[in-house]
Structure 1
Amino acid sequence: DFNDFLKQYETMNNMGGMKLMKMMPGFNKISEKQLYEVEKQFAIYKKMIDVMDEDEKADPRLLAASPSKRRRVAQASGRSEAEVSELLGKFTQMQAQAINMGRMMQLGSPEGANNEKVMRELVESSSRQVRQVQPMGAALCT
């Protein structure tokens, strides 16, 4: 749920944020700009999650099923409905990636670099998403 998502984000931020990832094998190629953009996008996501009611945070499907709830979250957070929908999509994608990573770590990955690949894809996909949303969100940030 979004409560867990926020806890994980805040824990990572308290430990140094996305810069920690640069210390992990295979992630030294991620640029500072990419890390900054991902951190910036997560801050936007946090604003949207903060205005959700407890039921919506506990069950993201409620937002997915209700355009009026997405509209309310967008208005209350100063973001667009498209950005709220993007958050839902990104949350679902990250949830699936976390499940896959958990399985690989639990069962042991036959391809040792696969765990790194999944994490790298997560950062890169977040980075791409930020670049796509930036023009739309830039005016809203000021």
Structure 2
Amino acid sequence: MIPENNQILYSSNNLDFQNFSFTQNGQELSFKKNIEGFTDENIAVLFQNFRLSTFTSLLNPDELLVGGKMNGQLVVENPFGAIGLMGNLKIDSLKAVGVSLGNLSLDATAESLGNYNLALTLRDDGIDMDVNGQFKANESGGNLI
């Protein structure tokens, strides 16, 4: 279900979402501006019981390309400046082209202004993988479009 009063408002250095969410059969995908818990301007994508096959079935309705259930949030801080990435995403029972990969977790946190840490784990179904890294936001800013 898509709310009738949903909107995306875009102008120079501004992007806003009004009731912009998609729900169906217990799944929800939402876009929001300036969610709580962040000091800088941000744009967030929120997932609740979202089945990855909802997207991938658009690309190939005959075969499951990627599957699993995703929960969490992905947040872009300073979308028109020194862009930063933060969030917490979990995908339970991740599958790719018929192969079970396990449970995936992504944590992106700010170490300090402009410095971010990323931690990705993939566990179960015979895989035990950790990938950790850092990135520094470009001081001159990013280009959203």
Please report the TM-score for the alignment, with normalisation by the length of structure 2.
Answer: 0.24
- 1 or 2, which has the higher helix percentage? 1
Identify which of structures 1 and 2 has the higher relative contact order when contacts are C-alpha pairs closer than 8 Å and 6+ apart: 1
User: Who wins on radius of gyration, i.e. which is larger?
Assistant: 2
